[in-house]
Amino acid sequence: MLSISHAATGAFIAVKIGNPILAIPLILLSHYLEDAVPHWDAGTGLGSGKKTRSDAIKHGIVDLILAGIIVLVFYYPRFPIVPNLADASVRNFAPYWGAFVGLIPDFLEAPRNFLKYEPWFLKPLNKFHHIFHHSIPSAIDGLAPQVLLLIILWIFR
């Protein structure tokens, strides 16, 4: 899925759970489950000749920037980035570390997708990621479930 979807989901889970020991595994699980939903994302079409590497990188960067903006729009009012230092706790930064954790499986795969570089220790993880990943070429059909997801996350945030 798009970074927007994974980051918003990670932020949502982190905010709801609060405790990173519980939240982190759940956020990672959410990434793999969301990728199993047929979707369109920045890497869709890469490798099939339908999309160039530089287009995928550009889309990926725009996606990441939008992911950051969405997380801020959802959570900044309740979670200012510089919280009251007397009350600084992991919970105060939940949307931000949650969003980051939500993107980890894609960050680990990025060197392979975009630079054709894959260190041996990432191969098993990327293979695992690939088992779940189900993208479809139609942007409209592939974005619909993600728009729905964002609406639900927004309502319950």
- For CA atoms 41, 1, 132, 31, the dihedral sign is positive
Crossing angle for the helix pair 53-75 and 139-156, to the nearest 10 degrees = 20
Provide, rounded to whole angstroms, the least separation between the CB of residue 125 and Zn ion: 11
Region near Zn ion per CB under 5 A, out of 73-81, 99-107, 120-128, 136-144:
99-107
Q: Give the separation between CA 114 and CA 28, rounded to whole angstroms.
A: 22
Crossing angle for the helix pair 20-36 and 123-132, to the nearest 10 degrees = 60
Provide, rounded to whole angstroms, the least separation between the CB of residue 83 and Zn ion: 30
Provide, rounded to whole angstroms, the least separation between the CB of residue 129 and Zn ion: 6
Containing 60, the helix (H) or strand (E) segment is helix 53-75
Provide, rounded to whole angstroms, the least separation between the CB of residue 133 and Zn ion: 6
φ/ψ of residue 135, rounded to 5: -105, 155
Region near Zn ion per CB under 5 A, out of 7-15, 29-37, 95-103, 116-124:
29-37
Q: Give the separation between CA 116 and CA 151, rounded to whole angstroms.
A: 35
Using rule CB under 5 A, residue 34 touches Zn ion: no
Compose the 79-98 pattern: x for residues touching Zn ion by CB under 5 A, - for all others: --------------------
Region near Zn ion per CB under 5 A, out of 8-16, 48-56, 68-76, 103-111:
103-111
Compose the 47-86 pattern: x for residues touching Zn ion by CB under 5 A, - for all others: ----------------------------------------
Contact 122, 112 (CB under 8 A): yes
Using rule CB under 5 A, residue 35 touches Zn ion: yes
Q: What residue type is 113 in one-letter code?
A: N
For the chain, how big is the Rg over CA atoms in Å? 16
Which residue from 12, 15, 45, 106 is in contact with Zn ion, where contact means CB under 5 A? 106
Residues forming contacts to Zn ion in the complex (CB under 5 A) are: 35, 105-106
